[in-house]
Structure 1
């Protein structure tokens, strides 16, 4: 049984991510948890309406959130009826990152699937601030779905790596299951100026191979020059359906995420983006 957590603010982008998730796990026994974190709504509204208490706002917004979640579940049960799927709604009075992180730990979530932007995000950016925060701080794989991306089975998966990171078995198990389900090819792109691997890199590469036994693996190497350009070129040349990267301290992905905004360095990803975490939980 797969457990999937989907944050929603009921925006078009969030609904698009939900549709992708239902298609991705169409043939799998899956529990979908739709979560709406509403603490920011309460405090944001309070600034403009000081005549009502926080408690009153909280009660009102909580009631509205629960009703929207109930309507969402009813809609999916009727329009996307699938005996393999079960739906649950969670309205939580916390910030999005805290609510998601707590729920991941309490329910032992396998993967978070979310839109790249929320209701109020700038149309010019690729990833909204909330999505980036979840990438950075939640100890669970996160699959972000661009709002313009139409569902396709992830047949071609790009996995850029320098083999310096010690991968987590649980994270790779998720990737292996997806690749096995869709008979995917996983392109392991080694971005380095040196073709010879160190002993640590060889160990990590072997662990990667052993952890992805049900996938078609392809190993390639390209010079560093510009890592981002190398990734974007590979996405185009190989008709990639899913980009996978590992987030860890001192990794290339962490370097990107910890800048003011991801988009300032030109990260324009138009395919689903799976961020694996190099953190124990």
Structure 2
């Protein structure tokens, strides 16, 4: 069965960069890519009482501009990314980005969302920094991957997976991580942050289960004593030239604060590698 990947785009360089990364990362798989553009109307704000209607000159003009930009994007992809395993679909929507993403996930049975971390610089309402963070925090229907600005694709050799071992693991929630690792012969580095030296009995059980689930891929376990989790992950990634960070987005998880405003500035906004937010099953 084809994998269905949603890529929100504002046609900026960063969005195009995320698109290229996604196409290269999944070059070996049969994929349907859905490109979503949320278009804006110049004279419309949320304070305006009258909603612009489909059919009105302003609405149709903005939608037409979105569709025109899509035509150029598809021409470019045909020229530079002609992969018989990939097919492309476009969606132009007048909506809030988060709402449009959720509707598309639902209506197209999307497996994964891939976004750039920044949008068109200075353009009001389309800065992907906060949008990407919100998507990672709020989208629970499927995993979300954020691609840093200007990052060129190279085959991922190492993915860093931070955990506190406080919750159990399942194959379902780690499915996308394992899939990427198997596709590219990537090693997974499980990193545990702690102030204590020993694990509780439950933590030991969860670690053993994780070890069992990751049996099919190259993986190893590491322990760090950094007090600042975000800084610790960043240092670990930089010191080893790791290629990606993946974590399970649990509401009660030690790292759910990673994507709150102060920490995302360190990891998300200034990310040097892609970040994959997996969902707990």
Normalised to the residue count of structure 2, the TM-score between the two structures is 0.87
> Does residue 199 of the first structure (1) align with residue 197 of the second (2)?
no
1: CA distance between counterparts of 2:224 and 2:208? 19
Q: Deviation at 1:30?
A: 1.0
> Does residue 76 of the first structure (1) align with residue 74 of the second (2)?
no
> Does residue 138 of the first structure (1) align with residue 139 of the second (2)?
yes
Pairing partner for 2:43 from 38, 42, 45? 45
Distance change >3 Å, CA 91–CA 199, structure 1 → 2: farther
Distance change >3 Å, CA 169–CA 45, structure 1 → 2: farther
Q: Deviation at 1:266?
A: 9.2
| Contact 2:178–2:214 (CA under 8 A) maintained in structure 1 | yes
What is the aligned-residue RMSD (CA, Å)?
Answer: 2.6
> Does residue 165 of the first structure (1) align with residue 142 of the second (2)?
no
Distance change >3 Å, CA 261–CA 219, structure 1 → 2: closer
Aligned ranges for residues 34-183 of structure 1 at < 5 Å? 34-38=35-39, 41-42=40-41, 45-47=43-45, 54-55=52-53, 56=56, 57-120=58-121, 128-139=129-140, 140-183=142-185
2: CA distance between counterparts of 1:252 and 1:267? 20
2: CA distance between counterparts of 1:83 and 1:258? 40
What residue number does 1:276 align with?
Answer: 278
Distance change >3 Å, CA 166–CA 75, structure 1 → 2: same
Q: Deviation at 1:59?
A: 2.1
Distance change >3 Å, CA 196–CA 108, structure 1 → 2: farther
1: CA distance between counterparts of 2:51 and 2:108? 32
| Contact 2:9–2:16 (CA under 8 A) maintained in structure 1 | yes
Distance change >3 Å, CA 29–CA 175, structure 1 → 2: same
What residue number does 2:217 align with?
Answer: 215
What residue number does 1:244 align with?
Answer: 246
1: CA distance between counterparts of 2:263 and 2:95? 23
- What are the ranges of 5 or more consecutive residues in structure 2 without an aligned counterpart? none
